[in-house]
Chain A
Amino acid sequence: MNAIPPLNRPDAAYNFAYLDEATKRMIRRAILKALAIPGHQIPFGAREMPLPYGWGTGGIQVTAAILGPRDVLKVIDQGADDTTNAVSIRRFFARVADVQTTTRTADASIIQTRHRIPERALTEGQVMVFQVPMPEPLFKLEPRLAETRRLHALGDYSLAQVKLYEDIAKQGESGSSYAHPVMVGGRYLMSPSPIPGFDNPKLHNSPAIMLFGAGREKKIYAVPPYTTVESLDFDDHPFKPVRAPQRCTACGSTTSYLDEIIADDQGGRMFVCSDTDHCAENQGI
């Protein structure tokens, strides 16, 4: 019979940040290539992780590959540090890498995120790691990867522009409210991951490094610091970032992205910041 490894301390059997060093090097090569070709999707040999595909394995692998012992890690999901998946991923790294974690955007050197970019302006030296479910910005228009690869190579994005034309013709405005595609460095059309359109402008000329990891689809892409990132639009129908027009019930912000909370079953609702750290900072907590 095959021996079953000792079960009392499973974590001790794993390398720092879980992945072995050869795998980290492979991922770092993909990241460097991605930074060199902004917005272009680089295939990489994504590994099975102990968390399910679709739950952030791409982001986790990117984070694991760049994480060093002196890093300070922040993990958010829906803008919040205390949502269950953020907690689970932060626990994972605390367990396999023993790094310092924080909820403060200002203090973090690496911020792994799902669906949001923090409200506080990012600074040079900070790295955002996005969890990406579908890296291909054209997948709803053309599901075949062999074909979308060709379209990217040829820089042929009229399909996406036509979709936008159709949306405006039918309903007067763009149909996508999140994961709205962006042109990076004037060359590659890129999915910003499912962040709300509200966050798209934060990608433009950001001093921080933006890394995107898609585990299941096995792609990595990146936006280097100070790179142009323009949301797809028309000159006479410019892209409009949208937020609920209310103010935050907790901190009073009228500029941050808000979650809508159903307060009762009488139609009562309130609005609070999705970025919990930002909200706390506003409240002086």
Chain B
Amino acid sequence: MYVAVKGGEAAIGAAHGWLAHRRRGDTALAELSPEQIQEQLGLAVDRVMAEGSCHDRALAALAIKQARGDLIEAAFLLRAYRNTLSRFVACEPIDTGAMRVQRRISATYKDLPGGQVLGPTFDYTHRLLDFALAAEGLPPEAPEEAEAADGTMPRVTELLAREGLMSRDKLGTDEAPPDLTREPLPFPTPRPLRLQALARGDEGFLLGLGYSTQRGYGNAHPFVAELRMGEVEVMLAPAELGFAISIGDVTVTECQMVNQFAGSAATPPQFTRGYGLAMGHGERRAMAMALVDRALMAKELGEEATAPAQDAEFVLLHADNVEATGFVEHLKLPHHVDFQSELEKLRSIRARWQAERDAAAPIQEAAE
């Protein structure tokens, strides 16, 4: 007598117990705190904030701990939590022109107003494993501080725009932009939604797509006009006040990528810009996003759009790693009902194939 396998409930409970045990690891070692993750694995925290679409370093650090360092899982945790928060007001647009810059570089000018600020970067480090880090030691010496640069750091793209060499983005309206987390993506997709989708897109996917535009899949000739990272103030204008107040600072990374455009009947030849913005410190993400943003403008600019990075449906519907991982991993779920249908189908088709062969065989022999 066959008895169906039962006990899914018990199995799930036991599996999750085991998972918790694995998460903690060797109890002879000190437990990692979310604060430590936040301080010492800061770039992982920033990536989870970006892909989790939620600027909260403490929650992102907790998610990383809970996810055992699986950053996509952590972004998922953060997204699911974010989704339960009520949305009562939208802040004013952040002004990255007024950023308190920690890092600011331009590849298009040797020097420029405000200067080049290298900041905390892996650039120009030699990628040699530093075995000194394996041993606990004294903290590194505090970096030297330069005089704070006074005056403004105008954006490079603005300098070009004043000369008419750079297209200007259309001025925003007072209308609230559409919200990707509330509405499904429409196609064709307006740029605010495109940028939102890219800003929370998977860094690896964006990187690969951006890279592909440099290798001929999409006609890109990009320059980093400017990459800047630092703190910006978040302003909120409550209706009852009638003016904006500061509610705190967030760190963001912004990249403006300059690209040539051949011009059309209506528009003179000029530079166009691709835009990238990442929560926290995320240069690779911001740069890749800027490349892809520009590639997605191909159709609007009347350029030939043949490369994957220029196909908005392809890019935007596959950039989300929380969606992607869910659907790829759902293949682990039982599919035996469908598979049974496939089995019966294949058996039936094979039987027909065999019957036709058998029927044809004598004729063939006769022909020989």
Whether both chains belong to one complex is answered with yes
Residues of chain A having any CB pair with chain B under 8 Å: 1-2, 4, 13-14, 18, 20, 43-50, 52-55, 57, 77-80, 82-88, 91, 114-116, 133, 143-146, 171-173, 175, 177-179, 194-198, 216, 218-219, 242-244, 249-250, 257-261, 270, 272, 274, 276, 279
The residue on B at minimum CB distance from A273 is: B4
Structural contact, B4 and A115, CB atoms closer than 8 A: no
* Distance, CA A169 to CA B94, complexed state (A): 61
Interface of B is mostly: helix
B80:A50 contact, CB within 8 angstroms = yes
Report yes or no: B330 in contact with A54, Cβ–Cβ below 8 A: yes
Within 8 A of A (CB), among B311-350: 313, 317, 322-323, 325-330, 333-338, 340-345, 348-349
Beta-carbon contacts under 8 Å, B137-187 to A: 181-187
A178 touches B84 (CB 8 A): no
When the two chains form the complex, which single residue of A53, A78, A177 contacts B327, counting CB atoms closer than 8 Å?
Answer: A53
- Closest beta carbon of chain B to A217's beta carbon, Å: 8
Is B58 in contact with chain A by the CB < 8 A criterion? yes
Cross-interface CB contact of B330 among A1, A52, A179, A249, cutoff 8 Å? A52
Q: Is the CB of A172 within 8 A of B352?
A: yes
Neighbouring A residues of B12 by C-beta, 8 Å: 84, 87-88, 91
Q: List 19 A-B contacts (CB under 8 A).
A: A20-B86, A55-B326, A55-B333, A82-B5, A84-B333, A85-B334, A115-B335, A133-B327, A144-B313, A177-B345, A197-B341, A216-B323, A244-B344, A249-B1, A250-B2, A257-B337, A259-B336, A272-B4, A274-B337
The reply to whether A91 and B9 form a contact with Cβ atoms under 8 Å apart is yes
Q: Is the CB of B349 within 8 A of A146?
A: no
Q: How many residues of B contact A (CB 8 A)?
A: 58
Which A residue sits closest to B356, measured CB to CB? Answer: A172
CB closest chain-A residue, reference B338: A178
Instruction: Determine whether the beta carbon of A171 is less than 8 Å from that of B349.
Output: yes
Query: Which B residues form the contact surface with A (CB < 8 A)?
Result: 1-9, 11-12, 34, 56-59, 62, 76, 79-80, 82-84, 86, 181-188, 313, 317, 322-323, 325-330, 333-338, 340-345, 348-349, 352-353
Q: How many angstroms from the CA of A4 to the CA of B352 in the assembled complex? A: 64
* Cβ–Cβ < 8 Å partners of B182 in chain A: 45
A260 touching B84 by the CB < 8 A rule?
no
Which residue of A is nearest B7, CB measured? A82
Contact partners of A145 in chain B: CB under 8 A = 187, 313, 317
Complex contact B313–A45 (CB within 8 A): no
Which 8 residue pairs of A and B lie closest in terms of their CB atoms, listed nearest first? Answer: A53-B326, A54-B330, A52-B326, A177-B341, A218-B184, A54-B327, A177-B345, A87-B8
Whether A48 lies near B338 (C-beta < 8 A) is no
Do residues A47 and B338 form an inter-chain contact, with CB atoms below 8 A?
no
Bound CA–CA A258/B348 (angstroms): 16
Which chain B residue has the least Cβ–Cβ distance from A196? B341
A177 to B352, CA, bound (A): 16
Select which of A85, A172, A242 is within 8 A of B341 by beta carbon.
A242
B81, chain A: closest CB distance, angstroms: 9
Whether the pair A43, B184 counts as a contact (CB closer than 8 A) is yes
Roughly how many angstroms separate A214 CA and B6 CA in the complex, as a whole number? 28
Residues of A near B344 (CB, < 8 A) are 177, 242-244
Chain B residues with CB below 8 A from A53, complex form: 322-323, 325-327, 330
| Alpha-carbon separation in the docked complex, A144 to B328 (Å) | 20
With A52-B76, A79-B337 as contacts: A46 and B4 at CB distance below 8 Å: no
